[in-house]
């Protein structure tokens, strides 16, 4: 039986239009749930969505004295229906993300502000019964959302922050042991060498429990040509210069133990519009590596398609989309010659290759962004065929 981690992100906004709730998560198939997102305000961790996080009552749940409501309660209360399905599930609060990473640089820059943050994290974990924290700073030094502050010292300050956080949580768990005896600390990092080059990955790996690498979004609206958005190996065409194997290898070469490298996997696809497949040099992969203009309407945002939406609308008999397999990249594409749309996505075969890769290389596991996008648990089930 594999000991690899199976980490799924659950997003607070899933309970609204997506109609996806904690009880819908196949927690029996996960080792960890990462709850996104908390935010950083005034150097302290704060709730991201108070109603979803701690206020929403669930009719199927019997709340005891001191129990938290909302999604936090569903994942963290010891007697919640969700936790009864998997008492060994570890829940981590994820802070930051693409939208809420703007405050990290200033917070990490001084001992005083770091100490304020670290204390607030300890209080947060104890109050809401989380088993650890996942820091999703996108990104130190460069990258991330336009307008986010950066400093050349971000990488060094980040390492110091993690050390101070580890020391504080170690102190807390000695006096008030958490559910599993130890608070976990993880981070989410980029797959782009231009971004993660600013981090002392070997030193960070000595502090954190594992590193979740966002090995997806290699191609999209920002690209010059169409390409795979989360290929495992170098593709036949449309090479973005990044792939899962090269990224995992580089992290290991930079000093991260293989068992702390967690490969990210997206349960979604990226689309490209106005693609001329006749320009492709690869007849078996029409539209791949070709110029495009714009992106198609997606499931919730332009150009992005939930896997379950693709299964319902694009991967059915009679659809004008055809699936093609890039055996070099170990990744599929969908292409419609009539619509001139190409979609790079993840299917059960691609997921199988990645899970097998994790096993063969002795990696720490797979991280999934995000759980609401699966189709009837199909991709998650395939992962479990390999990782248990």
Of 98, 120, 110, nearest to 47 by C-alpha is: 120
Distance of alpha carbon 206 from alpha carbon 380, whole angstroms: 30
Indicate if the alpha-carbon torsion angle 299, 303, 304, 307 is positive or negative.
Answer: positive
- CB-based contact 374:267 (threshold 8 Å): yes
- Rg (the chain; Cα; Å): 21
Of 153, 262, 150, nearest to 215 by C-alpha is: 262
Tokens of 306: 């939930």
3-state secondary structure of 342: strand
Catalytic residues: 138
Tokens of 31: 């080792």
Indicate if the alpha-carbon torsion angle 19, 332, 313, 289 is positive or negative.
Answer: positive
How many other CB atoms are found less than 10 A from the CB of residue 36?
A: 23
* Letter string b/e over residues 5-22, b meaning 16 or more CB atoms within 10 A of that residue's CB: bbbbbbbbbbbeebebbb
CB-facing half-sphere around the CA of 120: CA atoms within 13 A: 19
The dihedral formed by the CA atoms of 264, 326, 320 and 219, expressed in degrees to the nearest 10: 50
Helix ranges (DSSP H) in 176-287: 193-196, 201-205, 244-253
């Amino acid at each position: 039986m594999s000991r690899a981690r199976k980490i799924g992100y659950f997003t607070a906004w899933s309970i609204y239009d997506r109609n996806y709730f904690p009880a819908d998560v196949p927690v029996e198939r996960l080792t960890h749930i990462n709850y996104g997102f908390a935010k950083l305000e005034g150097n302290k961790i704060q709730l991201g969505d108070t109603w979803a996080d701690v206020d929403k009552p669930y009719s199927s749940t019997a709340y005891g004295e001191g129990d938290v409501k909302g999604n936090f309660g569903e994942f963290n209360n010891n007697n919640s229906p969700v936790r009864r399905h998997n008492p060994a599930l570890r829940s981590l609060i994820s802070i930051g993300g693409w939208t809420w990473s703007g405050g990290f640089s200033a917070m990490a820059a001084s001992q005083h502000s770091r100490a304020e943050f670290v204390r607030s994290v300890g209080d947060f974990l104890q109050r809401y019964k989380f088993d650890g924290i996942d820091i999703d700073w996108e990104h130190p030094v460069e990258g991330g959302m336009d307008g986010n502050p950066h400093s050349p010292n971000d990488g060094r300050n980040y390492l110091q922050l993690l050390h101070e956080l580890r020391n504080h949580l170690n102190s807390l768990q000695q006096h008030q042991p958490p559910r599993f005896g130890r608070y976990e600390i993880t981070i989410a990092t980029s797959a782009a060498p231009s971004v993660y080059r600013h981090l002392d990955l070997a030193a960070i790996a000595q502090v954190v429990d594992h590193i979740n690498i966002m090995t997806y979004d290699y191609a999209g609206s920002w690209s010059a040509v169409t390409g795979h958005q989360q290929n495992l190996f170098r593709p036949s065409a449309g090479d973005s210069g990044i792939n899962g194997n090269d990224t995992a290898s580089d992290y290991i070469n930079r000093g991260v133990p293989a068992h702390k490298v967690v490969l990210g996997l997206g349960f979604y696809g990226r689309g490209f519009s106005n693609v001329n497949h006749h320009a492709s040099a690869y007849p078996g992969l029409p539209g791949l590596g070709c110029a495009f203009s714009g992106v198609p309407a997606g499931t919730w945002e332009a150009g992005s398609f939930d896997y379950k939406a693709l299964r319902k609308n694009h991967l059915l008999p009679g659809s004008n989309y055809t699936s093609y397999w890039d055996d070099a990249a170990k990744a599929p594409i969908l292409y419609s010659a009539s619509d001139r749309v190409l979609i790079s996505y993840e299917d059960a075969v691609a997921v199988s290759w990645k899970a097998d890769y994790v096993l063969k290389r002795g990696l720490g596991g797979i991280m999934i962004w995000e759980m609401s996008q699966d189709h009837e648990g199909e991709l998650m089930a395939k992962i479990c065929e390999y990782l248990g």
